[in-house]
């Protein structure tokens, strides 16, 4: 049965007003995780004892009058994120040691009062738009358990969509927040590069990867983004995402970009996704915005993406204590990354400034780019099983050709729910902006949400939600 789910902001308010305790919320979250692990398999690890102790402490702090934005609220983080006392396996098999300290994003979540209930599944080293692997099995989509929730932040997306947690942290190196958000009917924010610290890791995947939130509403995603944001010298001016979610965006010029960048493989746009994005464009026009078809001058940006992506995979794979346990496709990407390192990689990085100028020229005319998030609805579980590396890459590129250029640029993007296929599978659209443009994208997404109220739709859940 469909169930109304409460979100991050509502739970934070309920805790502050004494309507519920953190122990109740955290226990309910852990119970739902346990009850759905056999079906959805959203989590790699949970921390039941530690989380309940932290919830007890949060309740004491709340009773004493202490306030913090997320004090006592359960959240989850992706398996690529350091949580003290747990291994950072990043979807890999093997005996990896626990880390000794929280990553900066987790430190900031704790400073905001959040209770980390566990780490969500990711595909191996975050390289694919599906969350399946020998180390943990397959994570399934709450809207249809025969289908993937996407990847690589598929565990976080499945957990939020199913109401196991009200929001979760993911990471995005080629669409890995936006793709699973699209395929699970969520809001997913890829922030500006440098907005959320990746410490202790630096320049993740040669600057492609950033951390960001997945949530059911724009306000919840903004609240989580504010909690983890910092300025580390590479981001734009400080961000107030929550204020942006409450602000009218004004009348904007929006470029509708239905054509995908060049990928050397056919990338047909599924007709029902095309129709959903066009319907979203019509809604934006009714809201007073000017919407016109236009296309960023992407050029051969893939020539910069490939060396950076494979070099990033190689850097992580080289740190694995037993590389023989890695997927053969990972080992193939690692070899490619080693081959394309050095001079080729430096040349790829050096082109970014020219790419900013060429692609960013669209923002001389338009304020926002609207594009599909994916070209295809979520594939079935097992679609990529036993495919060799090159077939996996081609199949992946055909399904998801739209998201990765914004990782090369380092600029922000927001997935918004765009509706469903006739089979009931969620699809999404991206709002894309220039350097430091998160606040405008968030304001526009919030305006769309007010008009479309996508948060009123939830998947049929295998267990009842009691809070």
List, by residue number, the catalytic residues: 78, 152, 176
Buried b (16+ CB within 10 A) or exposed e, 235-256: bbeebbbbebbeeebeebebbb
For 187, list phi and psi in degrees, rounded to 5: -90, 130
For residue 464, what are its two tokens?
Answer: 């009842």
Four-CA torsion 104, 433, 275, 218, nearest 10 degrees? 50
Distance CA 209, CA 453 (A): 30
Residue partners of 378: CB distance under 8 A and separation at least 6? 141, 144, 147, 148, 149, 150, 183, 425, 426
Closest to 349 in 3D by CA, of 308, 402, 293: 308
For residue 447, what are its two tokens?
Answer: 């305006």
Residue partners of 13: CB distance under 8 A and separation at least 6? none
How do the residues of the chain divide into helix, strand and coil, expressed in percent and rounded to 5?
Answer: 40, 15, 45
Quick one: DSSP state of residue 247? Answer: S
Orientation angle between helical segments 218-228 and 8-16, nearest 10 degrees: 70
According to DSSP, the residues that pair with 119 across neighbouring strands are 45, 77
Closest to 252 in 3D by CA, of 412, 361, 365, 358: 365
Distance CA 230, CA 82 (A): 17
Helices (H), 318-411: 328-339, 343-350, 352-360, 389-399, 405-409
Closest to 142 in 3D by CA, of 128, 156, 127, 124: 156
Residue 371 in contact with residue 430, Cβ under 8 Å?
A: yes
């Amino acid at each position: 049965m469909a169930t109304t789910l409460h979100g991050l902001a509502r739970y934070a308010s309920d805790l502050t007003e004494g309507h519920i305790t953190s122990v109740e919320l955290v226990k309910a979250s852990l119970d739902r995780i346990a009850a759905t692990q056999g079906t959805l398999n959203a989590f790699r690890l949970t921390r039941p004892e530690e989380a309940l102790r932290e919830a007890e402490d949060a309740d004491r702090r709340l009773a004493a009058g202490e306030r913090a934005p997320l004090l006592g609220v359960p959240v989850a983080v992706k398996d690529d994120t350091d949580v003290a006392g747990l291994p950072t396996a990043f979807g890999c098999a093997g005996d990896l040691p626990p880390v000794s300290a929280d990553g900066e994003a987790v430190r900031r979540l704790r400073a905001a009062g959040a209770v980390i209930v566990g780490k969500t599944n990711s595909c191996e080293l975050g390289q694919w738009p599906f969350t399946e692997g020998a180390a943990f099995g397959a994570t399934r989509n709450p809207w249809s358990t025969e289908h993937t929730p996407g990847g690589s932040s598929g565990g976080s997306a499945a957990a939020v969509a199913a109401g196991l947690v009200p929001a979760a942290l993911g990471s995005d190196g080629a669409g890995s927040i936006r793709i699973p958000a699209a395929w699970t009917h969520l809001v997913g924010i890829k922030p500006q590069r440098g907005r959320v610290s990746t410490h202790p890791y630096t320049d993740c995947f040669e600057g492609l990867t950033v951390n960001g939130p997945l949530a059911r509403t724009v306000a919840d995603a903004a609240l989580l983004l504010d909690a983890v944001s910092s300025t580390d010298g590479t981001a734009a001016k400080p961000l107030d995402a929550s204020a942006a979610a409450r602000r009218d965006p004004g009348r904007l010029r929006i470029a509708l970009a239905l054509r995908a960048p060049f990928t050397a493989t056919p990338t047909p746009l599924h007709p029902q996704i095309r129709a959903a994005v066009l319907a979203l464009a019509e809604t934006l026009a009714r809201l007073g915005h000017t919407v016109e078809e236009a296309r960023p001058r992407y050029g051969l940006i893939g020539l910069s993406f490939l060396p950076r992506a494979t070099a990033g995979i190689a850097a992580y794979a080289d740190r694995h204590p037993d590389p023989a346990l890695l997927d053969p496709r990972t080992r193939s990407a690692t070899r490619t990354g080693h081959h394309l390192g050095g001079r080729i990689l430096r040349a790829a990085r050096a082109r970014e400034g020219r790419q900013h100028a060429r692609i960013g020229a669209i923002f001389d005319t338009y304020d926002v780019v609207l594009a599909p998030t994916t070209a295809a609805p979520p594939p079935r579980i097992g679609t990529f099983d036993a495919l060799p590396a090159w077939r996996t890459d081609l199949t992946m590129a055909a399904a998801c050709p739209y998201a990765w250029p914004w990782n090369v640029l380092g600029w922000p993007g927001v997935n918004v729910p765009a509706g469903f296929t006739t089979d009931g599978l969620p699809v999404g659209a991206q709002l894309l902006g220039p350097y430091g443009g998160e606040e405008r994208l968030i304001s526009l997404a919030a305006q769309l949400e007010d008009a479309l109220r996508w948060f009123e739709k939830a998947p049929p859940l295998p267990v009842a939600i009691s809070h």
